[in-house]
Amino acid sequence: MMRLTIALAALSLRAAEIDRITVEPRAAAVQGPGESHQFLVTAHYAEGGVRDVTREARYAIQDPGVAKAVGPGNLTAVAEGVTQIEIQLEGRKTRAAFVVHPARGKTWEFANDIAPIFSKYGCNNNACHGALNGQNGFKLSLFGYDPAADHEAIVSQGKRLDRTNPAKSLLLQKPVFELSHGGGHLFSKDSHDYRILHDWISDGAPLGSGTAPRLSSIHVAPRGMTVLEREGQQQQLLVMGSYPDGSKADLTRKARFETASDHVVSVSSTGLVTAKGAGEAVILVRTLGQMDAVRIAVTAGRAEVNSRDWPRNNRIDDLVFDKLAKLRIRPSELASDTQFLRRAYLDTTGTLPTAEEAKAFLNDKDPKKRDKLVDSLLDRPEFAQFWALKWGDLFMIQAIYNMNNSPFAHEYFRRNFAGDRPYTEVAREMLTAVGPMASVGPNSFYSREDRRPPEEYATFTSKIFLGLSLECARCHDHPKERWKRDDYLGLAAFFSQVRMKERNGYRPFEGFVALDYTREFRHPQSRQVVKPRLLDGREPLVDAMADRRESLANWITAPGNPYFAKAAVNRVWKQFFGRGIVEPVDDFRATNPPANPALLEGLAAEFAEHGYRFKPLMAMMLKSRVYQLAAATNESNKDDETNFSHYYVRRVAAEPLADAVAAVTGVSDRFVSYYPGKRAIDLPDPGIPSYFLQTFERPVRDNASCERNLAPTVTQALHLMNGDTVLDKLSSPGGSLSRLLSAGAADDQVLDHFYLSALSRYPKLEERAAAKTYLAKQRDRAKAFQGFVWAILNSKEFSFNH
């Protein structure tokens, strides 16, 4: 049956009628004869769907004196002039213009013409000549960040160049493997790149003026996700570069293409992608210090799906299901009431429902009961406590570094969540904080005792509020992103006025965040004053006697900020769906594209529309069908780990787990200097002693990668089985078990109670039977039931959220 569907799909592709063909770009311009340009031709089918037909289309050049074809869709200029290109396929036509400008009096620019070749073939990466000591005496700067040094390395030494007989240059003999080369055979003697290097050497291998316009960005076409339906199907990529003067150039032949998913596609050095097997691949494209990425899906071998029949609750479902339909992945079934109940409680409040709450929900016949539960969860005190805990992780709040600020910070976050304050307001308050460090919540952003230099604030601001990892750019231009070191330092300069004042003698560890308007931030090497500069390149006018952080906060919280809302919704999404739309959540960059851009945009817009308040956003997520899908998978989505086609199971984290053990056993933890009953999710500081929390990897908050480590360890297993914090609770005379037994509860009542309180459900018949068989074998009833509760606490169903 499956095979038949596939055959039909393939057949329909061939038989499908082309509605029209389009070409990109409509008009191509090159600088002088010899320059070439790639065109991309796409067929649009009558019944929907597109396909790259660049290699099948026929190209008629009206004026062969101006251009000639050198490859599929690839034209080279012959002489100055303009010509039309007629493009044809199966009776459909389109046309493009090809403009050859006068040659600029060919001057070589090493940085633009030659350096990209080393990047393209990976010569300058850290495994080859980009390594600290180079390779075999030839060293290039890592990823080509220093073209002048690279030029020097090439021209200054020995036989690397032979200007009279360029073909005898090591620089050419090695990559074509005329001479043994550790990097292997990279290109052939008839390649475009060989010719460029050859001509450059024979022209004397000049460095050039160094004033050539710097590329401002690259864009790879086709945009959006390309779907390849058959193995072997191909897609040409087109890389267009934009310059500050508005001009554009085809950089396809200069770019380097890479993919980590080589089981899905392969990509050639000319940007031709070939489908290999079902899945999704991101292709990274890099040239001249700029980057972009495109996503390709291969659906080969997957049966078509009919997404119109999939039930939907809201817009999230449309956005997720659209992508799934393209990938031909069917979402899982709806999760049961039990599954939904338990996961909604845990994900939203870090708390299990009590046996009574579980019973009430399961017995409720209202068809709207799931929505009702979501609304009530968002209003519970545990909701605010739990999210304050998460925000404490995010801002790395801990007493040791934060001058004992942690209770105030926790309380500040808790109130913000309880009152659903706009996140823009909170961000501004924290970024522009001044005053006593220990006792004012928002000042926690500045209160780290280690006296962060302005650079540190740049790191944390970009990570926390913008979802950007700029840290690499602290010391060098980011290798996988367009961020330059100057971007990073420009951001740091907004914090130059921040000063920590000690107030010794008044109160130990009390300090003060103050501003010194005259302080400037200096470049770590040149010692020049660095002017504050936003990440979009603008330098806001800052009054000398104003708080610079205000203008940064203005930009971050402005409605059009491209990062702020997305970074926030992505963090929340991860908490509910187990994985960020961008993952890791604080690594937004062109080369780490979102799994579902439309979804991310849609959520960010929703967040902004609701005044940057979290609760409406969370309600929408929790009420979506996508959130309520089962963890079980079907044939089509069993391998999906990025598109949210089923609930991704995960372990319950340290604090909710500790609380769950306390709730099930009915014996609360006692944390030093807190009243009994204080919940682990409500603790403000990771330094509050608890063997259980430490063992289950409560983060120590010393590091901005606040991802929790949920991998199980031997120590955890030992502690759950034999640890005093668990065993003492099981046998406690004041605990649930003792109370039930001494009240004369029947076996079934006890079983029901613990299944409901630990697993939010009643035991099934066979489970009841198994438990009773076990109980019957034991001599001491109390001990027997202790063993039963012990088993539940050590079961997978208990320790996972599913």
Partner 1 sequence: MTPKHIWGRRDFVKFGSLGLAGLNLAEFGHLPRARGAEAKERACILIWQMGGAPQQDMFDMKPDAPVEYRGVFKPISSNVPGLQVCEHMPRIAKVADKYCVIRSMTGRTAQHEPAQHWVLTGNAPLATLSFPSVGSVVAREKGAKNGLPPYIAIPGPHYSYGAGFLGGAYGPFAAGDPSDHGYRVRDVHIPTDVNWEEVSDRRLLIKQMDAHFLRDPGVAGTSGANEFRVLDDAYEKALTLMTSDRARKAFNVFEEPGATRDLYGRSPIGQGCLLARRLVEAGARFVQVHNGMNVWDTHQNNFGLLQNELLPQFDAAFSGLLIDLERRGMLDSTLVIATGEFGRTPKINAAGGRDHWPKVWSTVMAGAGVPGGAIIGASDSNAAEVKDSPVTVEDYTATVYERLGIDYTKEYQTPIGRPVRLSSGKHLRFSHRTG
* Near partner 1 in 725-754, by CB under 8 A: 727
The nearest distance, CB 264 to partner 1, in angstroms, is 17
Q: Which is nearer to partner 1, 303 or 631 (CB)?
A: 631
CB-based contact 59:94 (threshold 8 Å):
no
Q: Distance (Å, rounded) from C-alpha 522 to C-alpha 455?
A: 11
Q: Distance (Å, rounded) from C-alpha 118 to C-alpha 124?
A: 6
Window 614-643: residues binding partner 1 (CB under 8 A) = 630-634, 638-641
Window 462-481: residues binding partner 1 (CB under 8 A) = 463, 469, 471, 480
Window 36-95: residues binding partner 1 (CB under 8 A) = none
CB-based contact 237:273 (threshold 8 Å):
yes
Is residue 794 part of the contact set for partner 1 (CB under 8 A)? yes
Beta bridge partners of 44: 20, 50
Q: Which is nearer to partner 1, 233 or 645 (CB)?
A: 645
Interface with partner 1 (CB under 8 A), residue from 310, 563, 648, 674: 648
The nearest distance, CB 726 to partner 1, in angstroms, is 10
Helices (H), 89-157: 115-120, 147-155
Q: Which is nearer to partner 1, 97 or 710 (CB)?
A: 710
The nearest distance, CB 798 to partner 1, in angstroms, is 9
Is residue 665 part of the contact set for partner 1 (CB under 8 A)? no
Site string for partner 1, 117-146 (x = CB under 8 A): ---------x-----x--------------
Interface with partner 1 (CB under 8 A), residue from 366, 703, 743, 744: 703
SS3 content of the chain, % helix, strand, coil (to 5): 40, 15, 45
Residue 780 exposure: Cα atoms within 13 Å on the Cβ side: 5
The nearest distance, CB 28 to partner 1, in angstroms, is 35
CB-based contact 506:547 (threshold 8 Å):
no
Is residue 525 part of the contact set for partner 1 (CB under 8 A)? no
Q: Which is nearer to partner 1, 253 or 328 (CB)?
A: 328
Is residue 791 part of the contact set for partner 1 (CB under 8 A)? yes
Helix (H, G, I), strand (E, B) or coil at 522: strand
Q: Distance (Å, rounded) from C-alpha 170 to C-alpha 225?
A: 42
Interface with partner 1 (CB under 8 A), residue from 243, 592, 732, 745: 592
CB-based contact 24:46 (threshold 8 Å):
no
Interface with partner 1 (CB under 8 A), residue from 27, 136, 718, 734: 718
Is residue 5 part of the contact set for partner 1 (CB under 8 A)? no
Q: Distance (Å, rounded) from C-alpha 511 to C-alpha 551?
A: 25
Q: Distance (Å, rounded) from C-alpha 579 to C-alpha 605?
A: 20
CB-based contact 169:159 (threshold 8 Å):
yes
The nearest distance, CB 456 to partner 1, in angstroms, is 7
The nearest distance, CB 297 to partner 1, in angstroms, is 19
CB-based contact 297:327 (threshold 8 Å):
yes
Q: Which is nearer to partner 1, 144 or 699 (CB)?
A: 699
Region binding partner 1 by CB under 8 A among candidate stretches 188-196, 221-229, 370-378, 649-657:
649-657
Region binding partner 1 by CB under 8 A among candidate stretches 88-96, 236-244, 331-339, 436-444:
331-339
Location of structure tokens 């400008």: 101
Q: Distance (Å, rounded) from C-alpha 685 to C-alpha 689?
A: 9
Region binding partner 1 by CB under 8 A among candidate stretches 245-253, 365-373, 430-438, 580-588:
580-588
The nearest distance, CB 346 to partner 1, in angstroms, is 15
Q: Which is nearer to partner 1, 460 or 573 (CB)?
A: 460
Interface with partner 1 (CB under 8 A), residue from 704, 740, 741, 745: 704
Location of structure tokens 């307001």: 425
Location of structure tokens 């032949």: 253
Q: Distance (Å, rounded) from C-alpha 444 to C-alpha 534?
A: 23
The nearest distance, CB 641 to partner 1, in angstroms, is 6
Window 211-240: residues binding partner 1 (CB under 8 A) = none
Site string for partner 1, 235-264 (x = CB under 8 A): -------------------------x----
72 backbone dihedrals φ, ψ, rounded to 5°: -60, 115
Window 282-301: residues binding partner 1 (CB under 8 A) = none
Q: Which is nearer to partner 1, 78 or 362 (CB)?
A: 362
Beta bridge partners of 248: 242
Window 767-786: residues binding partner 1 (CB under 8 A) = 767, 770-771, 774, 777-778, 783
Interface with partner 1 (CB under 8 A), residue from 185, 195, 263, 764: 764
Site string for partner 1, 413-452 (x = CB under 8 A): -------------------------------------x--
Q: Distance (Å, rounded) from C-alpha 437 to C-alpha 403?
A: 7
Of the candidates 684, 680, 678, 673, which has an alpha carbon nearest to the alpha carbon of residue 407? 684
**Angle at Cα 557 formed by Cα 555 and Cα 558, nearest 5°?**
65
Interface with partner 1 (CB under 8 A), residue from 4, 541, 714, 746: 714
How crowded is residue 194: how many other Cβ atoms within 10 Å of its Cβ? 18
Q: Which is nearer to partner 1, 713 or 749 (CB)?
A: 713
Helices (H), 144-211: 147-155, 170-173, 192-202
Interface with partner 1 (CB under 8 A), residue from 152, 379, 702, 748: 702
Q: Which is nearer to partner 1, 169 or 332 (CB)?
A: 332
Distance spanning both ends of the chain, measured CA to CA: 32
Distances (CA, A) of 203 to 180, 207, 562: 26, 11, 45
Distances (CA, A) of 111 to 186, 219, 585, 717: 20, 20, 34, 57
